[in-house]
Amino acid sequence: MEDFNRILVVTKSTKHCKKAVHHGISLARHCKAELHVLHLLHDPFGLEHWQVAIPSLKAIQQEHQQMRDKARKDLDAMIVAEQAQGLPIKVGLAEGLPEKEILQTVKEKKIDLLITLAHAEGHLEQLLFGRLNEELHRKLPCSLMFIKHEPGPVSW
């Protein structure tokens, strides 16, 4: 197995990302590697550029933000617990185009392994975020680990 000295876990601050962070923590402990967690702050709704009032879209955006905030709080608690046990984890935030932010972080931190979810969280997020994984696997200068997660049905 290849030596991984610097591992990066990418999250979109969703509850599904806990599985990717868990794998990152396990591998970092096993390989005695430096672990980085990058929270992507991407607003797929981009309402700040719109000139028209769209109340229903604003409500969806607020609900999306509340879900992200809760997931982020859970992820941060998981990270803090591991840090308290001695695992050095560096947490970063990136706001912008996900592909660009991930590639820039990988190069700057000299990452050996990138861990991310294998699929977007669902068809809606694929529509909003695009097919990030396909773009990444072609351009990354490091190894890539996809964490398989099949999303369940959307509950309204």
Kindly report, residue by residue over 60-101, the tens digit of the pLDDT.
777 767 877 777 788 888 899 989 999 989 998 888 788 889
Contacts of 99 (CB under 8 A, 6+ apart): 132, 135, 136, 139
Of 85, 82, 84, nearest in space to 37 by CA = 82
pLDDT bracket for residue 47 (50, 70, 90): very low
- With pLDDT > 90 as the criterion, what percentage of the chain qualifies? 32
146 token code pair? 């996809």
- pLDDT confidence of residue 7: 97
DSSP state of 111: -
Q: Mean pLDDT, to the nearest integer, of 101-107?
A: 94
Task: Indicate the pairing of strand 143-147 with strand 113-117.
Answer: parallel
Whether the pLDDT of residue 142 is over 50: the answer is yes
Whether the pLDDT of residue 110 is over 70: the answer is yes
The continuous run of DSSP H or E covering 55 comes out as helix 55-84
Contact 40, 105 (CB under 8 A): no
Of 112 and 69, the structure prediction assigns the larger pLDDT to: 112
Per CATH, the number for 1-44+88-151 is 3.40.50.620
- pLDDT confidence of residue 50: 46
Where along the chain do its domains lie? 1-44+88-151
Q: Mean pLDDT, to the nearest integer, of 118-137?
A: 63
